[in-house]
Amino acid sequence: MTMRHFAFDAPRSIDGLVRLSTPALHALQLTHLLSGIYEDHGTPALQGCGRQTKIAGYTEWIDSAGSSATLSWDWEIRCVPGQVRWHRLGLPFTNLLLIGDDLQDLPWQRSLECLAARVDVMAWAESTCIALRRRYAGLPHQI
């Protein structure tokens, strides 16, 4: 007997949102789908030689169990002496809406803030980096 994934049993709605409780969100098995880099439309390279650059992009994650749950966010790489750090920018983009203990929708902003907190504890940078290397440099999985 196979057990159905909770996200498949989540209430469906005509608004296209997948509603999940906070415990269901934490149990969601998100897996990397796609990442990309935003083009830097700043000063042309020759005129800006030696200038500080910004590397930013997006990443999209889906439920590995096959439900329609998706979660994506913008990110930026920040460099400080001796360190490279990946940071989420802004709130996520998603079709998920969290529900409270009373089974009522949380306000959209509060739901996005909770999803952002979930992203912030995920180990997403390594998978994103690997995907970017494959996409832009044609490099193998392991480097």
- Cβ neighbour number for residue 74 with a 10 Å cutoff: 16
Q: Residue 90 sits in which domain range?
A: 13-37+52-135
The answer, yes or no, to whether residue 42 has pLDDT greater than 90, is no
Domain CATH for 102:
3.10.450.610
Decide: 114 and 98 in contact? Cβ < 8 Å.
yes
Total domains in the fold of the chain: 1
Q: What average pLDDT does this structure show over 17-22?
A: 94
**Average confidence (pLDDT) over 108-131:** 96
- Whether 43 maps to a domain, the answer reads no
pLDDT digits (tens, 9 = 90+) for 43-97: 555 556 666 678 999 999 999 998 899 999 999 998 878 888 999 999 999 999 9
Q: What is the mean pLDDT of residues 114-122?
A: 97
* Tally of CB atoms within 10 A around 98: 22
Is residue 45 situated within a structural domain?
no
pLDDT at 116: 98
* Beta pairing partners, 89: 74
141 within some domain? no
Does the residue 47 lie in any domain?
A: no
pLDDT above 70: residue 24: yes
pLDDT over 70 percentage in the chain: 80
81: left (phi over 0), alpha (psi -120 to 50) or beta: beta
